[in-house]
């Protein structure tokens, strides 16, 4: 916690410097110099191939060496950072180092969420903003680390996290734009859907829970950061947006981000990739796509559940990030939990459960109207893959 507090101090100080400098320039300040501040950084050095409990999926280094990462908005990520650093320090018996990095904070990312900047402020500054402040740099916002293609330059530290501070800031801003809710409201368990009736049921259930005392949930947040607290029948904060955003999000919150977020992502694999690219920086525990698919087997009936255990990626949205030969299996723990949930709700088990739920390969496609073209190619591939369903958004 001391390390996270130190990160927060550096972050607050440096972002305030940029905001204050911009305000002074807009009021006629000195335009002869450049104003720059840097992201905080956390680093750790290990010297041993320490044997770690094999059940741990994180919180340890794969090899001896120096590791570091830039950090943004430490308060938002406090629980995540505390847990990760605690495990690293315990598993390796080392201390962590907090310092300023050499990565500048772009001016755009220094403003607090919801800050209104007068459009004439920049006009009153005679020189181009890029001459005076750092701006977002696309070279620092890629996914090479997460994709496993990042190559460490000689003498540089290995990455300590899958996303850099600039990459995270970029996504946090996009999340607000697409969902009309603040990143701080997102929970660790995320449901994606492209059907409004699923959203309607989720909203109705959440409001009932709030009115009846919460049922373990603390508050419900809707687009516009409209907040209904546990025990209340009506919202107490926020205002609905004049029109819904592209991907409205709803958050049934628990302390420590232990609740459920549901997002209506709209239609198509591009939308699915867009929103998951951004929510990924929050490091949620799990997400599930809840949609409708086309059954491909004569033994299936309308309304049957399909639980995917593999994907045929004909949607192509991940091809540039992960080659098609890279498998993307679902988590076994989630598969088991979903199957048990269906059994509990339906009252069916064993062989009877198979009447309404099939587990198998799902093919994802980027052309919903593939039937309007020569079908021989797609049909043959679907047959060879043994796919039992066709979908667009499971990307």
Dump pLDDT digits (tens) for 9-68. 999 999 999 999 998 888 888 888 999 999 999 999 999 888 888 888 889 988 999 999
> Domain map of the chain by residue range?
2-175, 180-291, 292-395
Q: Mind listing the pLDDT tens digit for each residue in 343-393?
A: 999 999 988 998 899 899 999 988 888 778 777 777 888 889 899 998 888
Q: Which among 45-49, 141-145, 187-191 has the top mean pLDDT?
A: 187-191
Distances (CA, A) of 41 to 134, 143, 197, 328: 18, 19, 44, 31
Beta-ladder partners of 351: none
| Distance from the Cα of residue 312 to its chain's centroid | 23
Concatenate the DSSP letters of all residues of 124-181 into one string.
H--S-HHHHS----GGGS--HHHHT---PPTTSPEESSSS-HHHHHHHHHHHHHHHSS
Do 2-175 and 292-395 fold alike per CATH?
no
Residue 395 clears pLDDT 70, i.e. is over it:
no
pLDDT > 90: what percent of the chain?
Answer: 66
3-state secondary structure (DSSP) of residue 121: helix
Q: Mind listing the pLDDT tens digit for each residue in 239-264?
A: 999 999 999 999 999 999 999 999 99
Q: Domain 180-291 classified CATH 3.40.50.1580?
A: yes
More confident residue, 72 or 50: 72
Identify the pLDDT of residue 237.
93
Q: Per-residue confidence at 198, pLDDT binned at 50, 70, 90?
A: very high
CATH superfamily of domain region 2-175:
AMP nucleoside phosphorylase, N-terminal domain (3.30.1730.10)
| Mean pLDDT lowest among 63-67, 73-77, 159-163, 323-327 | 323-327
Residue 155 clears pLDDT 90, i.e. is over it:
no
What is the CATH T-level fold of the domain 292-395, as seen in this structure?
A: Rossmann fold (3.40.50)
Identify the pLDDT of residue 383.
87
The DSSP 8-state label assigned to residue 349 in this structure reads: -
Identify the pLDDT of residue 52.
85
Q: Per-residue confidence at 145, pLDDT binned at 50, 70, 90?
A: very high
Average pLDDT over residues 317-341: 90
pLDDT > 70: what percent of the chain?
Answer: 98
b/e burial code for range 127-153 (CB count within 10 A of at least 16 → b): eeeeebbbeeeeebbbbebbeeeeeee
What average pLDDT does the chain have?
A: 91
């Amino acid at each position: 916690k001391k390390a996270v507090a130190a990160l927060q101090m550096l972050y607050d100080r440096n972002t305030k410097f940029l905001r204050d400098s911009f305000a002074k320039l807009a009021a006629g300040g000195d335009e002869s110099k450049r104003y720059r501040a840097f992201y905080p950084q956390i680093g750790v050095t290990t010297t041993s191939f320490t044997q770690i409990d094999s059940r741990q999926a994180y919180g340890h280094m794969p090899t001896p060496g120096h590791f570091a990462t830039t950090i943004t908005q430490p308060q938002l990520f406090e629980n995540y950072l505390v847990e990760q650093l605690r495990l690293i320090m315990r598993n390796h018996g080392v201390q962590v180092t907090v310092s300023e990095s050499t990565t500048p904070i772009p001016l755009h990312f220094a403003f607090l969420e919801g800050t209104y900047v007068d459009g004439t402020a920049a006009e009153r500054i005679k020189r181009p903003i890029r001459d005076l402040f750092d701006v977002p740099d696309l070279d620092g916002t890629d996914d090479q680390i997460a994709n496993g293609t990042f190559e460490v330059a000689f003498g540089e530290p290995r990455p300590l996290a899958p996303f850099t501070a600039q990459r995270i800031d970029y996504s946090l801003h996009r999340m607000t734009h697409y969902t009309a809710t603040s990143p701080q409201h997102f929970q660790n368990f995320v449901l994606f859907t492209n059907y409004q009736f699923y959203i309607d049921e989720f909203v109705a259930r959440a409001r009932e829970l709030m009115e009846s005392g919460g049922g373990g949930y603390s508050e419900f947040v809707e687009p516009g950061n409209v907040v209904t607290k546990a025990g209340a029948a009506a919202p107490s904060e926020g205002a609905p947006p004049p029109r819904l955003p592209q991907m409205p999000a709803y958050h049934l919150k628990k302390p420590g981000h232990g609740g459920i977020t549901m997002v209506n992502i709209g239609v198509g694999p591009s939308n699915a990739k867009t929103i998951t690219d951004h929510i990924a920086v929050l490091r949620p525990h799990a997400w599930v796509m809840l949609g409708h698919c086309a059954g491909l087997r004569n033994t299936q009936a309308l309304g049957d559940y399909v639980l995917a255990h593999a994907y045929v990626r004909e949607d192509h949205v991940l091809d540039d990030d992960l080659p098609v030969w890279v498998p993307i299996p679902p988590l076994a723990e989630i598969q088991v939990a979903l199957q048990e949930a269906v059994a509990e709700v339906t009252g069916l088990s064993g062989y009877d459960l198979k009447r309404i739920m099939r587990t198998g390969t799902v093919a994802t496609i980027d052309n919903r109207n593939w039937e309007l073209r020569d079908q021989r190619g797609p049909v043959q591939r679907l047959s060879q893959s043994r796919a039992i369903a066709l979908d667009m958004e499971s990307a």
